[in-house]
Amino acid sequence: MNISSDFCSTQAEHFRRWTATLLLWSWLSALLYGSSIGALAKSIVHDENGDTLYRRGVSFTDQVSFDNYSLSLRSQRFFLHSGEFHTFRLPVPSLWPDILPKVKASGLNAVSVYVHMVVDFDGFRALKPLYEAALDAGIWIVLRPGYINAETSAGGIAHWATSEEAWMDYILGIIEETGLYQITEGGPVIDNEFTQSVGGEYFAELEEVYRNSSIVLPLTYNDPGQGRNFINGTGAVDLYGLDFYPQGFDCSHPLDWNRVTLNYHQYHEAVNPSQPWYFPEFQGGSFDAWGPTAPGYAPCAVRTGPDFMSVFYLQLWASNAKLLSYYMIYGGTSWGAIPFHGVIIDDLFKSNRD
């Protein structure tokens, strides 16, 4: 059979974009660190004041769906197994295609990506090179614009934003960068996460901007604790998630473990049983604090190392988690004025100068 090279190229590009990246469009990031889809009914229940009580499977595209069992992409059930990667901590876009295949080779199928606040999406601030790298690697992305926390100064919000009403340019810039890379366009984005902040009115205003844009994916939220936030009421999201850091961030005694949490499944059944159980951030490491008694990062690697993983991660699976992201999978460098005042950077340039 003689098939033209143009046809083969077209089919290869189609396959590349099909297998590409699941960009879980995550507009709601956690306080600590930062659609459904055609198969589900569009139902919104309001109280007597007109506030949203419950949003069940708000549909904007049939490419992404979820039920109480799992997320589905194009009618195929999907277990999200992700790790956190911050492009602003590796500000060289040509290196991103090196990171993503290694994440995939480690057994994960997605990366979660915080987006630092900017209004100019060029150079290392651009998102499109990330999407293209993810398409080539065949890995999905969870996109998480700010507020991000992420151990950054002001939680990733530009310092001048405290006196300037410039947040709209940031959000619209992300929408412009991402619109054509949603799964509906053959790209990597399937979900959008919000930021924990001042309250429901804040969320509702952000939701209005997103829903009046080209973004057609479900909105998610990660709760920094078992607080039952934004499941119902003003600013309620499509998919609720829980963050958990069971070992905390004191690495002084790396062999002393905290108790394993045993009520994940019960909590899920109590707060959002009609949705798949989502952990947008689960501890995958720790940071070291300032001060003469700071132990350094080596003990942190022990405290959250393989033994920790084999116990705490298996407990998540036993608790019926179906969307899971580890914070973090790639660290990078907190350069310039990026880091917040509570962490230090390890000495990565140790050498014998004698």
Beta strand 80-84 with 76-78 is unpaired
Is 193 annotated as catalytic? yes
Helix axes 167-178, 200-211, angle to 10 degrees: 40
**Three-state helix/strand/coil letters over the chain:** CCCCHHHHHHHHHHHHHHHCCCEEECCECCCCCCCCECCCCCEEEECCCCCEEEEECCCCECCEEECCCCEEECCEEECEEEEECCHHHCCCHHHHHHHHHHHHHCCCCEEEEEECCCCCCCHHHCCHHHHHHHHHHCCEEEEEECCCCCCEHHHHCCHHHHCCCCHHHHHHHHHHHHHHHEHHHCCCECCEECCCCCCHHHHHHHHHHHHCCCCCCCEEEEECCCCCCCCCCCCCCCEEEECECCCCCCCCCCCCCCCCCCCHHHHHHHHCCCCCEEEEEEECCCCCCCCCCCCCHHHHHHHCCHHHHHHHHHHHHHCCEEEEEEECCCCCCCCCCCECCCCCCCCCCCCCCC
Strand ranges of the sheet holding 219-223, from the earlier edge strand across to the other edge = 192-193, 219-223, 239-242
Q: Which of 84, 132, 177, 281 is catalytic?
A: 281
Is 281 annotated as catalytic? yes
Helix axes 306-318, 264-271, angle to 10 degrees: 40
Q: Which of 84, 151, 193, 207 is catalytic?
A: 193
List, in sequence order, every residue forming a beta bridge with 82; answer none if it has no partner.
Answer: 110, 325
- The verdict on whether omega for the bond into residue 147 sits within 30 degrees of 0, i.e. cis, is yes
Catalytic residues: 193, 281
